[in-house]
Chains A and B, each alone.
Chain A
């Protein structure tokens, strides 16, 4: 596989469920990101990992918990979500954090919280 792969593509979960989103990149990049995309809002940066270390947490509620076991894999663990958390969750990677690097995005996970 090439590029950035996200699973699952679609997820419907109840507010009491626990689920995880998975992202894998095959580009040899060292930085990985989680973004949230809601209707009529700009992409919101959630978490940043550089060389497996979390470098930023953009005031994301604790019901979202990221995990980066290595530079190629990134997870987003979800628990007790709210309906307003329904959105497209995008994973991205880049060579490193910092200037001059464009991001490559995965196809996203469309999350619906019921």
Chain B
């Protein structure tokens, strides 16, 4: 079974704090993703990574950065947390594209972040 874990289920931080969210997968997946999910907006991609040290911006990267130093670990950093970053953060992983096939994503349990 694919396992994607996230460092915290619930987190409360103050405005201006630096926040680290960590994600680890155990299936040797090449791709890793960070999304946020807000009511009525669905999942929106923040960043993704297709290899160690490689990253690409998603649809809403402003205010976020990422780090992938090891294949199994992908970190999301909120440089200076703001109240509009209160959300559910979901990490996902998938195999890379092989022979033009697109693979399904597997999600971690999510981190519900509240910024006060």
- Is chain B found bound to chain A in the same assembly? no
